[in-house]
A and B are shown apart, each in its own frame.
Chain A
């Protein structure tokens, strides 16, 4: 059973702070990791993806991957109220076929 776990939240941070979202996964064979943002009533929107250990930065977003510890995180710098959404972690690997396994999502609330 391949599982992806996230803290459901809500995670509340003040505007301008760093929001840290974490995701752990059970399958050591996992190779690809994706973060999606989902506003209420909307579809998931791709934020970042990461394949290799270490950090990957894109604007205010940084994805961090540690395969040995089986976790991937997303940091959002200078958080804005518009970042308030549910963040979904998705994992893929050779044993998954082509589909992604999603976590339940973490609800982030950025307070003005």
Chain B
């Protein structure tokens, strides 16, 4: 597709359940990023992939959060044993190779933990 695609758009889960969020980046984009955005705040960095390699996961808030990009294209962010504080919008962004390139965002997944 032409842009970054994320699914599902909305996800409601009960506390303690596991969830998986999917991101399909712009075709040919080497770099892929996950961000978490709380209401009224700017996006906060979670993790970064260059192709299939996860080069930075310093923003993941706990070991319940796990991300992968096994074939260097589609990425999945998994949250295990969800907690209410995990409720947020999860944004995926991609950029072409090279440093300092603009990032292009998907529409996000709004996650609500009950």
A residues lining the B interface (CB < 8 Å): 4, 8, 31-32, 34, 36, 42-46, 49, 51, 88, 90, 92, 94, 97-105
Contact = CB atoms under 8 A, between A and B. Distances in A.
B25 interface: no
B55 interface: yes
Contacts of A31: 100
Contacts, number: 62
B59 interface: yes
Most buried by A among B33, B40, B43, B48: B43
24 contacts: A31-B100, A34-B102, A34-B103, A43-B106, A43-B108, A49-B102, A88-B43, A90-B42, A97-B48, A98-B31, A98-B33, A98-B48, A98-B50, A98-B55, A98-B95, A99-B33, A99-B59, A100-B43, A101-B45, A102-B43, A102-B44, A103-B42, A104-B40, A105-B40
Interface size band for B: 20 to 34
Interface in B40-65: 40-45, 48, 50, 55-56, 58-59
B79 interface: no
Given A97-B56, A98-B55, A99-B56, A46 B45 contact: no
